[in-house]
Amino acid sequence: MKLGILGSGKIVKEVLPVLDQIENIDVYAIAARNEEKLQKLAKDFSIKNYYTSIESLLENPEIDTVYIALPNNLHFEAMDKTIDYKKNIICEKPFTSNAYETEKIIKKAKANDLMIVEAMSHRFIPNSIEIKKLIGELGDIKIVSLNYSQYSSRYDKFKEGIIEPVFSLENSGGALIDLNLYNVAFAVDAFGLPKDVRYFANIENDIDTSGIVILDYGDFKVSSIGSKDSAAPLVNTIQGTDATIEIPDALNSFREFNISKINGSSKEYFNYNLENKSRLYYEFVEIERILRNNDRKKIEDLLNLTQNYMEVLTRARFDANIFYPADKVD
């Protein structure tokens, strides 16, 4: 894989050392607006080429796959352009701003016989994969409680009237799409589409700074909390009539989990992850394999998961009367 990267932000700086550990991935070029950042990244990670425009990178015939790590609202446009240049795509979360954009870009990729996949870490982390196998041993699921609350330093600026992308409607921001997305996507991946979706959001200046999504599955309920204006311990539980799974970590990291039986006093602890590997390592190893082997069935399965959670996120956001400029359909 000869990879081109669009973006130079925090996630790119986390990804680049991981890519150095993976065979068959050659970071061939990077593009962003800040040339000073680009020069440093190119030097630090021996990247052959850097560009200050997306089009310049896409025009490079050596690149076969593009990793998109731009602000949320730019994902759709960047993927649309990348497809026009006949390159496969790895896109950061959120896949797009809404379910409509997701459906539209997937259709275009398929029409052009290109492979497109979302870099959603929990789908590839071994602990997360094993938990989904163990859910059936919990008995009847009754309550799922997920919480990703992390006070944002940008919230202080937000209160002063300095609006950064994570708190901007124009940039498709907010607590739901930034943090609670991981919880909602995990729940929808594990249990499918819910019967009903509600979002009870704390809204300041038209954007959600925190909130609770309730997913109604009929026989059980999911409470999904995401916050950027307050903090809480990272504890997630899946409660069944026979046992409970506890995940004492954010679902995009999944460092360990434990199971406690209803009639037992002890907990059994599990960790299937490799030692000293980043949470991002697993997704890029697997995505490289998928693209190299032209595994269209796996691509289809992953895209179905992406479409499902994007539908739920969009329904939740609309339920709270939060609308992005990207929601306007021509």
Lowest mean pLDDT among 141-155, 197-211, 260-274: 260-274
Mean predicted confidence (pLDDT) in 67-93: 98
Mean pLDDT, the chain, as a whole number?
A: 97
What would the pLDDT profile of 276-297 be if each residue is shown by its tens digit? 999 999 999 999 999 999 999 9
Q: What's the confidence (pLDDT) of residue 329?
A: 75
pLDDT higher than 80, residue 265: no
Domains and CATH numbers, the chain: 2-120+281-310 (3.40.50.720), 123-276 (3.30.360.10)
C-alpha distance from residue 150 to each of 21, 179, 209 (Å): 29, 8, 11
Cβ count within 10 A of residue 30: 26
Residue among 186, 45, 48 at smallest CA distance from 123 = 186
Q: Report the share of the chain in percent with pLDDT over 70.
A: 100
CA 326/CA 112 separation, integer angstroms:
24
Mean predicted confidence (pLDDT) in 106-112: 98
Q: What's the confidence (pLDDT) of residue 266?
A: 80
Write out the two tokens for 213: 């999504």
pLDDT higher than 70, residue 330: no
Report helix, strand or coil for 280. Answer: coil
pLDDT higher than 90, residue 264: no
Tokens 């850097």, located at residue: 50
pTM, whole model, 2 decimals? 0.96
